[in-house]
Amino acid sequence: MTTQTIDHSKLAQMVEAGKNLATHVVGQKGGWAIQITFDSLEHLLTAQRSRQVRLFKKLETLVTYLQDVGIKHFDVDASGYDPLTVKTYNRPDRATALKHAHEAAAYEQWFRTQVQASLDDPAPSIPDDEARRLFAAKRDALKKRAL
C-alpha cells in the first residue's frame, strides 16, 4: 500500500462526508501517530503547518482528538511504541514569562500604593505655580551667590 499524508481539515471533511475510513493508532518512537485507510490508500495525519507526521505524546490526547473529529472506533498497534523515547515539553520560557508577569503585577500594586499614600498625605501641598515661584527665587539667590 502507498502511504500518503492527510491534514486535520481534510480528515474532518472526510468524516463529515461519511467516508468509510479505517483508523489505526500506531505507536512510534516519540509518541502515537494516526493512520487513516480509505480507497486502498494509507494516509498519515500531519501537522497543518509543518507537514510532519503528527505525534501525540499521550494516548488520552489522541483519543480526545479522534472523538472531537467524529471518529469513535479505531485500533491500536503498540508494537513500535517506546515510552522511554517520548519527550515531554519543558517550557522554561513560560515559567520565566509567568515570573515576569507576577513581578510586574507586584510592582503595579506597589506603585498604586505609593501614589495613593502620596495623595492621602496630610502634609499641606502648594499649587504648581507657587512651587515654581519659590524655586525660581531660590535659583536666583544661588546664582547671585555664585557671582
| Domain with 22 in it | 3-85
Which of 64, 85, 106 is the last residue in one of the domains? 85
Indicate the number of domains in the chain: 2
- 74 lies in the same domain as 17: yes
Name the band, by pLDDT with cuts 50, 70 and 90, for residue 124: confident
> How do residues 19-50 score in pLDDT, each as one tens digit?
888 999 999 888 899 999 988 889 999 988 88
Measured distance CA(9)–CA(46) in Å, rounded = 10
- 11 lies in the same domain as 50: yes
- 97 lies in the same domain as 115: yes
- 59 lies in the same domain as 107: no
- C-alpha distances in Å from residue 111, one per residue of 28, 32, 33, 103, 107: 53, 50, 51, 12, 6
In the predicted structure, residue 117 carries a pLDDT above the cut 60: yes
Which of 85, 100, 132 is the last residue in one of the domains? 85
For strand 3-6 and strand 41-45, is the pairing parallel, antiparallel, or unpaired? parallel
